[in-house]
Structures are given as structure tokens and as C-alpha cells.
A = this chain, B = another copy of it.
Amino acid sequence: MCGIVGLVAKSLVNQTIFDALTVLQHRGQDAAGMVTCEGNRFFLRKDNGLVNEVFRTRHMKRLMGNVGIGHVRYPTAGSSSAAEAQPFYVNSPYGIALAHNGNLTNAEELVEQMFREDLRHINTTSDSEVLLNVFAHELQHQRKLKPEPEDIFEAVSKVHKRVKGGYAVVAVITGYGVVAFRDPNGIRPLIYGTRSTPEGEECMVASESVALDIAGFTRVRDIEPGEAIFIDMDGNVFTKQCAEDTKITPCLFEFVYLARPDSIIDNVNVHQARMRMGIKLAEKVKGLRPDHDIDVIMPIPDTSRTSALEMAKHLNVTFREGFIKNRYIGRTFIMPGQTQRQNSVRRKLNPIELEFKDKVVMLVDDSIVRGTTSKQIVQMARDVGARKVYFASAAPPVRFPNVYGIDMPSPEEFIAYNRSVDEIGEAIGADWMIFQELDDLKDSVSEGNTDTICDFDSSVFDGYYVTGDIDTAYLDRLDEKRKDAAKVVPETIDHEDEAPADLHTEIS
């Protein structure tokens, strides 16, 4: 998961991009980057760390220009290197910088192809660098001294033909403007909006509508699957559908967990979708145990709060905040001669004892992946006196890998791997375990937009991959890579001690 933003404005864009990245930070806390463009010159700053850490006053002073793009990165097992922060840059043609959210499923073939056809060298394992070079290659082939919107759209069309996977992309072309586009299945979100200023209209594209909100932009609409938007240096906006056979099958996990509740994705209000998930959970409880003995319903903060609240309301059960989330992120240092400590859930959550004492509590989480945290939470609830601990997941069991940009562990590590629902409950120590039905989950979301949403990328739940190119061989290869990567990636990183030294990201 990553967050992206692109902006063509009438004055300096650095602060606005910074603000937008800050509210997109939930989509990636691993690295951040920004490219701005003034006249014929690019300025880049990127590094591992939070937005707040990566951009200091001295960097902002150098990020000149009224046009730019930004990125926040989620750490992925396959490419956790500090050297692979985005945006990436190529100087040929025109000078292009690009950032993206998603994952290409044919990146390796493209790397080879690109070298063979165009002698382009890819220096990292990031598929953003691949995507940038594919786009650059297609644009260069047209050999236009001054590319028109049509030329750029033409290049995007060719990109859609060559790359596979889920992706939302934003790029800046020196001297011409910002281009953004979304994969033909609309798996990853992308939205745009405008802001009026005395100097003229400004346009922003971003992963989520909250980025528009914070900067005072008015939401215009989602970029459609396969569609591209181009904003030239003067702020003129052009859009075009650049793919065939497109459909809106957004990633279901965005609504379950990834997106901010105050975002609107593909016309669905995320907050409302989560409320509906809670209602449907309540109905399931009623159906299964009409005479349930639940005393109190509690969310595992923060994501599941919305669902849990509605669930409680519809069951007419008391809702309480039993766990307090530690807002400030800790870190485990490994002293010489020490072995790594158990990374306890206590570092993240603290229970309020009196809310548990002698009660039957129903804990609600958005979803369960590995289940290790859930298990610790259940135990913690017991430790502070809960009589019984029930556990509800607003999403169905996660059983399949994600190949469209959400980093997940190897399937064997899923708690649901080879386990029935009851077995899962047993595994995490719950007295009762319930999961949302997949159809209920889909309905929770699609009820928000019955017009255009066809279906979803629900692959992590049902193993169905909308791009149609994912086979067992691919998944096995992916799993192998994940396991290899997992071996070398340490659990906790002090960024400062892990300075990169590569072509595009250097820390002194």
C-alpha cells in the first residue's frame, strides 16, 4: 500500500503536497518522497521515514515550483530497501518523475523486455522504476518535441497493454505537466478535485479524497478504471479513457481496513460502508445466537470502531472503549549481547480493567490476518477479568495472497490457513468466533454505489484475481520471494542507522 498525490497549482506546491502526504500517511509509514518542477528543473527529496521526518525546512526551501507529485510508501517484504523510496526519475525523454500505488504482476518480464528493446537499465527491484521506464519508453517512441495531451494518453494506452496488475500512478513531465492514471480494473483508488484561487484553477489527484479535503480542494470525481488525466502547466485538465474492457472492481480491503473512514472511494462513503458491516455482523449474531449473552461490545481501535458501534447499536448492547491505543510508536532496540524481545501487543494496546471484569465481551476487529495479535488481545481480555471473550471480524477469513499491492505474509502464516472458523476461534482462544460473510461484506460496500461498481477485487478472501493472469505458478514464485525477503528483513529498523547509498536516495 502506498499513497500518491499530484498537483498543478498557481503557487508553490511543496506545502500542499506535504499536507496531502500527511493525511495519506496511513497508507504508508515507511518512506516518503516529493518531486517538484520549476521551469526546466526538477527537485527531489525522498528518504525512509514519516513525512514529518523526511521533509525538513531545508528540504522544503529547495522544493521549488508550482507543479509536483508526492508519495508515501508501505514497507513490503520484497522491496523494503531504503533505496527504493519514490518518486523515481528518468531523464529521457523530457525528464519524468513517477510514483505509484499498487503492484505489477509482470514486472520481471518487463525488466527484461525493456532492456532488450530499449537498453533501459533498472537499478532497483521496485516495480515503480519499471512502470516509469515503460511509460518513458512509450512516450519516447512518439519522438515529439512537445507532447500533446493525445500523445501522453497514447503512451498511457500502451502502458495499459504492457503492464499487468493493480496500479494508480502519478507522474510529472518536465515542462509539460502532471499525468495520472488507474489500472483498467480500478483496483487501486485515484480521485481528483479542483480549487479556485485568484490566479486560476488548481487541480489535484490523490489516492483518497481526504487529501483533497485537507487542502480545500473540491472532489470532482474518481478517475475511472483505465482512464488517464493530464493537467498541463497552465492548469488545463484533460481526461481520456485509455483502456478497453474496463470495469470497476475496487479492492475490497480498501473499505475494510486501508482507507480513512472519511474518504469516498468510487462514490462509496467508507465510513458508511463500515457502519453497514457492523449492522450485518449484528444480524449474523442475531441469526446464530438470538439469546446471546454479550454484555459489552468493544472495538480493537481504531479501524473497527465504526463497525463495532453500529453492531452494538443494532444488537442493543452496551458499546465501550475497552482498549486504549498507544498513539506513539515504540521501537525495540537490540543491545549488544541481547536477543530480541517478544514484540508484545501491550506496546500497542492497553486494556481498561473495569470494562472487562466479569463481563462477556465481544471484541470487534476489521479483519484477521496472522491472528497473533488477536490471540494476544483475547488473552489480555481474559487477564483483566473477562468472563467470556467473543471475537468478530468485519471481514471474512483472509486465505489468499494479495498481488495488487498489499503486502501480506505467506498464506501458511494466515491463521485461516487450513482452519475452519471454529478452529480459528480456538486458535486465537476466543469463546466464540464470527466472521462476516463475503457477500455481506460486498453488499456493505456496493450498497453505497449500486450504479457503477460491478464487483470487487476480493482475492484475499476467495482467491479470485480479476486481472485473470494469476496462476499457481505465479503465486508460488511470489511466496518464495516473500520468504527469502523475510529472512533478511529485520523486524525493527532504526532508519538513521540504515542509510542508503544508491542512485537516487542518499542520506548523509
Contact = CB atoms under 8 A, between A and B. Distances in A.
A507 B506 contact: yes
A52 to B, nearest CB: 6
Interface in A76-109: 89-95
A197 interface: no
Copy tally for this chain in the complex stands at 4
A89 to B, nearest CB: 5
Interface string A101-135: 00000000000000110111111100000000100
B57 A15 contact: no
A106 to B, nearest CB: 19
B90 A335 contact: no
Given A44-B501, A91-B90, A92-B92, A18 B51 contact: no
Contact of A94 (B121, B352, B504): B121
A332 B213 contact: no
A216 B18 contact: no
A309 to B, nearest CB: 7
Contact of A40 (B121, B331, B346, B496): B121
A238 interface: no
Contacts of A355: 271
A471 B75 CA distance: 57
Nearest to A335: B12
A336 B504 CA distance: 24
A320 interface: yes
Interface string A472-508: 0000000000000000000000101101111111111
Interface string A305-317: 1100100010000
A44 B83 CA distance: 10
A337 B355 CA distance: 54
Nearest to A319: B309
A210 interface: yes
A288 interface: no
A351 interface: yes
A477 to B, nearest CB: 19
A335 B65 CA distance: 12
B330 A22 contact: yes
Contacts of A145: 115-116, 119
**Which range holds the interface residue count of chain A?**
35 or more
Interface string A35-70: 000001111111100111111111111110000000
A140 interface: yes
B335 A122 contact: no
A506 to B, nearest CB: 5
Nearest to A111: B40
A494 B60 CA distance: 11
- Most chain B CB neighbours (cut-off 10 Å) among A26, A91, A118, A319: A91
Contact of A60 (B140, B271, B333): B333
Contact of A327 (B40, B41, B327, B502): B327
Nearest to A215: B346
A91 B133 contact: yes
A503 B88 CA distance: 9
A92 B119 contact: yes
Nearest to A89: B503
A346 B214 contact: yes
B89 A90 contact: no
A44 B94 contact: no
A23 B324 CA distance: 11
B90 A119 contact: no
B216 A23 contact: no
Contact of A43 (B45, B60, B216, B501): B501
A176 to B, nearest CB: 11
A135 to B, nearest CB: 13
A15 B62 contact: no
B57 A494 contact: yes
- Most chain B CB neighbours (cut-off 10 Å) among A19, A51, A324: A324
Nearest to A313: B318
A82 to B, nearest CB: 9
A56 B121 contact: no
A502 B87 CA distance: 12
B93 A326 contact: no
24 contacts: A15-B332, A15-B341, A19-B330, A25-B328, A40-B123, A43-B502, A43-B503, A45-B506, A52-B329, A55-B333, A56-B496, A57-B333, A58-B496, A58-B501, A60-B333, A61-B333, A90-B91, A92-B121, A93-B119, A93-B120, A214-B346, A216-B346, A261-B352, A262-B324
